[in-house]
Amino acid sequence: MKKNEISKRALSIVLALVSVISVIFCCPFTASAASWPSTKNIKTYVLSTKNDTTVYQTATSTSKYGTIYASDLITIKGYSGSRLKVTYPISSGTKTGYIEKSKVTSASINTASAKWTATANMTAYRRSSGSATIGSVSKGDVCYTLATAGSRTQVIYPISGGYKMGWVASSSVPSTSLVNVTSSFAGKKIKIQSVQSGKYLCADANITNTPIVCNRNNAATWETFTVSNLTSDGWVGFKASTNGKYLSAIKDVTNTPIRATASKLQSWECFRIYQKGSDYYIKAQVNKKWLCARVDISNYPLQACASSASSWERFKIITVDSNDSTSQSATFWQWPIKKYVVTQNFANYSTTMANSKGRPYHSGIDIVGQSDKTIYATADGTVKYKGFSNGNGYHIVLQHNFNGKTVYSLYSHLSSYKDCPEEGKTVTKGKKIGIEGSTGNSTGSHLHFAIFTGYSSDPLGYVQTKNSSNVLKSGNYTFYNPTYVISNQMLP
């Protein structure tokens, strides 16, 4: 049912209350960090798609009191400790109990990372993936950002008599929003790269007290860190692979260099990760300062000293697959094969194709899986086409909404695509969709992988014109270098 617009009078009262109780963080952007607009009367669904969310009778009890199903619309009435007080439907009406906050959101209780005003109507979904909706956000609604997952952002938005918590397309959220994405990296192995210099953070293995610097062109063992699990209040630590020590930001001296010295997590070793667009910012718990990697001096130590974030505070965070050496950008796009070798690059010139077709430039990238031939969806999207052609063989085309732009990804020469959903169905990043093969016009087992705009169910493998090393155009179609797109999380 379409929600009623909250009255201007009621909204002004709510906003006045928010201004009083807001918890304001250091934030360099126009969208300010704030508390939730209310911790009462927020309607939402649990994150789990199974009927397995345990309800407790009190905020501290450990015995099971009830169960919330995936289809249950619940109402948050308040919170205590790490639990939310909720009402949920049962056969005879409703019941009140407590659930763990993590069953609803990865954000800290009563803390939103940004407040913004919707500039257009948008659909609100129940979860970070799937087509089930909870309602809609109306143009002019004051919304609060909680977390991101895949291509969606979790928000709180107003309805008549309260609020709803749902998921909207991240591309619809203003780019000024600073989103807490700490939970997305918890438990993962990562590498951290300065956007300004392109250098990686390095923890020298030989000297424990050597300051962390941002001076490596290539990321190897010294540049790898393991993110701890979330603390009860939503912080993490970074453990250096070289010595097993946590990075530490000494509280009493703001300009003390970050070092990998701590054997356990305390406040000095706790950080949060925020995202704006494709960039990340890291904040220290002890002084709420941003980590800063000076670009003008390559060996300048990393410090938690920035009150506001500019170029020196911007990072890329790369997740490392625990089973191999392949790195994946922890944002929208990922590689369709976990471990691979490149057999033909994007825009590679083919004399054979030039002579026979007049189209010499390779429109994608050819890769061969090493230990595993499984093909995965490169990003969240919709199955636009799956079928067979003489050129592409068995192939799949997925449609993606990337920063408000419709983009397609192509997976060609498959031996099988039985694991791919039917056309029109949604698919999540990392889902198995096929197996590498050699069907169609192919001389050996490989995946021809392309990213393009301008839809075609049977895209060309070679085109006539080379616009740049990262862009090829052919009629209404534009092909982009997949290596550039995945590495930079943007179109060239």
**What are the backbone dihedrals phi and psi of residue 475, each rounded to the nearest 5 degrees, phi first?**
60, -125
Q: With contact defined as beta carbons under 8 Å apart, do 438 and 423 qualify?
A: no
Mean pLDDT of 114-139: 89
**164 vs 304: CA distance, rounded Å:** 36
Q: Is residue 325 part of a domain?
A: no
**Which among 430, 198, 171, 137 has a CA at the least distance from the CA of 277?**
171
Do both 339 and 475 map to the same domain? yes
Domain boundary residue, one of 180, 202, 219: 180
Q: Do residues 208 and 342 both lie within one domain? A: no
CA angle 187, 332, 169 (to 5 degrees): 110
Give the pLDDT score at 303.
74
Distance separating alpha carbons of residues 132 and 125, to the nearest angstrom: 6
Same domain, 477 and 382: yes
Do residues 31 and 176 both lie within one domain? yes
Say if residues 412 and 437 touch (Cβ distance below 8 Å).
no
| 399 and 300 in a common domain | no
Alpha-carbon span 335 to 486, nearest angstrom: 7
Query: Confidence class of residue 45 from pLDDT cuts 50, 70 and 90?
Result: very high
Report how far residue 54's alpha carbon sits from residue 98's, in angstroms, rounded to the nearest whole number.
9
| Pair (212, 234) in one structural domain | yes
Same domain as 84, residue 20: no
- Domain tally for the chain? 4
Q: Give the sign of the dihedral formed by CA 148, CA 480, CA 486, CA 430.
A: positive
Residues 221 and 340 in one domain: no
Q: Which two tokens stand for residue 451?
A: 């990213």
Range of the domain at 249: 183-320
438 CB-contact burial (10 Å; exposed 0-12 / middle 13-18 / buried 19+): middle
Q: Are residues 189 and 246 in the same domain?
A: yes
Query: Measured between alpha carbons, how far is residue 460 from residues 60, 104, 348, 378, 417 in Å?
Result: 61, 44, 14, 19, 20
- For residue 366, tell me if it sits in a domain: yes
Give 257's DSSP letter.
B
The C-alpha atoms of residue 290 and residue 273 are separated, in whole angstroms, by 10
What band does 336 get if pLDDT is binned at 50, 70 and 90?
A: very high
**Taking 90 as the threshold, does the pLDDT of residue 249 lie above it?**
no
Distance CA 344, CA 16 (A): 60
Average pLDDT of the chain to the nearest whole number: 80
Residue 149 banded pLDDT, cuts 50, 70, 90: confident
- Is a pLDDT exceeding 70 seen at residue 394? yes
Q: For the chain, give the percent of residues with pLDDT over 70.
A: 79
Best CA proximity match to 301, nearest among 207, 439, 230, 161: 207
> Between residues 301 and 378, which one has the greater pLDDT?
378
Whether residue 395 contacts residue 423, with contact meaning beta carbons closer than 8 Å, is answered with: no
pLDDT digits (tens, 9 = 90+) for 214-240: 665 555 566 788 898 888 778 888 988
Do residues 176 and 79 both lie within one domain?
A: no
Task: Report if residue 326 sits inside a domain.
Answer: no
On whether residue 41 sits in a domain, the answer given is: no
Sequence-distant (6+) residues with CB within 8 A of 263 are: 245, 246
- 99 and 235 inside one domain: no
- Does 350 fall in a domain? yes
Spatial CB neighbours of 251, under 8 Å, sequence gap ≥ 6 = 267, 268, 286, 287
Q: Are strands 162-169 and 42-44 parallel, antiparallel or unpaired?
A: parallel
Q: Are 236 and 257 in contact (CB under 8 A)?
A: no
pTM assigned to the model: 0.41
What are the residues whose beta carbons fall under 8 Å from the beta carbon of 207, sequence distance 6 or more? none
pLDDT value, residue 210 = 65
Kindly state whether residue 42 falls inside one of the protein's structural domains. no
Last residue of a domain, one of 180, 195, 216: 180
Specify if 271 maps to a domain: yes
Q: Is the pLDDT of residue 3 over 60?
A: no
Lowest-pLDDT range of 244-258, 276-290, 437-451: 244-258
Q: Which two tokens stand for residue 194?
A: 């300065």
Please report the beta strands in 403-464, taking only residues with DSSP state E, as ranges in sequence order.
405-414, 426-427, 432-435, 447-453, 462-463
The CA–CA distances, whole Å, from 437 to 4, 369, 370, 396 equal 53, 10, 13, 13
Q: What is the pLDDT of residue 8?
A: 39
- With contact defined as beta carbons under 8 Å apart, do 374 and 477 qualify? no
Q: What is the CATH number of the domain that holds 17?
A: 2.30.30.40
More confident residue, 175 or 37: 37
CA pair distance 173, 153, nearest whole angstrom? 8
Instruction: CATH number of the domain at 271, please.
Output: 2.80.10.50
User: Max alpha carbon distance in the chain (Å)?
Assistant: 76
Provide the pLDDT for residue 206.
Answer: 47
Q: Cβ distance 302 to 292 under 8 Å?
A: yes
Single out the residue in 87, 104, 121 at which a domain terminates. Answer: 104
